[in-house]
Structure 1
Amino acid sequence: MTASPPNDLSANLPDRRGPFKVMALYKFVAFPDADAIQPQLAKFCCGHGIKGTLILAPEGINGTVAGTEAAIDALAALLLHSELFGDRLAGAEIKYSSAAEMPFLRMKVRLKSEIVTLRAPEANPVEQVGTYVAPQDWNALIERNDVVLVDTRNDYEVGLGSFQRALDPHTQNFTEFKQFVEQNLDPQRDKKVAMFCTGGIRCEKASSYLLSRGFEEVYHLKGGILAYLETVPETDSRWHGECFVFDERVSVGHGLVEGEASLCRACRHPLSAEDRAHPDYHEGESCPYCAGSGLAERAAERQRQMQLAEQTGRAHLGDEARQHAETIKAEKRARREADRQRARSAQS
């Protein structure tokens, strides 16, 4: 276990099982010029056919994107070796995986006040952060009786999988983590706290928050669950279930292969095989978590529209759908203009 900053993991590529290369990255670093960088980064990604979401904030960068191998490699070069970013992203936490199909519908580069929202100014990973624990050292740490293990993710993520004996904070969003700490952790009692999250960013900020609250020894899994699932053999793993990811793959398992979970199109809740066997599950319309709600009713109508779109051969989601909608609008405008021209000709 060391307190060194995370390394660039761009060279540690898994055995790829799909034509699309997926990049997940983050780094806490000063970005006072985020608003100037945003349009240039968006133009580059769109020009290379990259899709996904990147978040820029004064405290750093965070996001996941996908594209062809050449496109993602070009983006990595831009982030790590260009005048636009300088050397600010050296040592960024970068993870690569693959997808059989494009896991995102469009490209978004967003400006926000935080790259992971906690609303706690005292939590500043640039100034102080807990001890990074390498994936190969994680098992030994979490098996100690004097260590409190905390899953910093939200309840719908924890529901798909977690480490054995980890505390579930039962949060709906990360800002609620502060209340969990206030009600369940005590710096006088809990001398050693270990935390983990999907890719490392959330628990890195959480570790900074705990240190600001007087906790003495705070540890977090370097590279998050994704690094653990890639690095630690399944036979030695203390992980149970699948890891939720924020794209159309829904989840990944050991080796970062795509998991079996799916996503409810009504409430966006991840669904296990058991959830899909529930009587309240109707593909594209509802699941056990939202059946009978207004969300389910709207999803049923959306599903009907998607089926109609498929029958007529037109797109319904993503950039193609937007382009199709623009084409339809242009055709309508052209028809209206033609009608007006004919009317004027008839009057003359």
Structure 2
Amino acid sequence: MKTPRDVEKRAATFYSRNHRAWLSGTFAPLTIGLQPPSGRTAELDDGKATKAWLQEWSRSAIPLQRQHRKLSYLGVYEVPVRVVLDQPETAAEVAGKAKHWKRINQLLDYFVEALGEPVRAKLVEKLSAWQGWSDFTAEQFIAVVKWLRTHDASEYYIRELPIYGVDTKWIEAHRGVVSAVVENMEFREKPDLVEMRSLDQRLLLHGLSHLRCRLSEIGDLPGQRVVLVENHVTFLALPPMSGTIAIYGAGLHAHSIVGRMPQLKEKQVMYWGDIDTHGFYILELVRRHLPNATSILMDVDTARLHEALAVAEPLPSRFQPELLTPGELQTLAYIRERSAVGSLRIEQERIVFDRVVDAFENQV
């Protein structure tokens, strides 16, 4: 015998799996049989369970189909036999999603009225992106779409669009749903810049010891050695080193930098990142372009020496290393084994600076 709670759970699953299709007008009713008691079942405990079941259904607001049935010597009862969810509204009500169903229909109708019927199907596909929007966010969306339909977005950077009431990061945060209804949405590309500094006062970069420029403008690099550094403050604090240019890798951006600097293949390249899973993952990515790149200050002795300064890495990478050396694998295993949450993180800034100076001096 199915209870009202059983039906509500089944309706919730029905709603979760199908409500997106219902927005497009596709709905197939669902019939849920209640498995009412037979006369023999009712006799087992003199009808106590059956009467309790009937009373439970009498208190429920779920729409039922009933039949008169004789339950042995207990008599004839009007017994609930099935629930038919014959409309989206009914299914949503039984599933406890009536408010959600009403809201997403209101929003979708609002978008269609403002932007035209063709957006309906596209927005249904992106339901998860907008179903929780407030009225204000919905108005921002409409304003953005209307502006993009009447302007050439390629003349603007994505954060400089002059749309009233829309902050500079709005489109980046909602780009997926906006691009679903705006064709050929292309913005002016932000220049891909790289920051470099010379660790050798005898070497200059375009006449400067420290510069930031487009990757395409770099040209040849002086010196025989390059050190790629994950964090900016560490990059700025690097000690002098003969014949060496330092490049700020900016975390995962290092992968893009080395992939677009073929001149690095002619250099001795070192990578220095945080001693954590992401630091080793970035090293792995760098080696895909520069197989001979070496790591510095990412060894297990450095990890042991600075373990007291480690913190838990919030979201450790689960990458499977293929290009790390045995020593690097040992360090990676060490920081994973020493943490109850996945991995330790020893940031570059935590490394004792005397050790940094010694490590770089040993490279000369």
TM-score by length of 2: 0.21
Higher relative contact order, chain-length normalized (CA < 8 Å, sep 6+): 1
Query: Which of 1 and 2 has greater Rg?
Result: 2
Bigger helix share: 2
Bigger strand share: 1
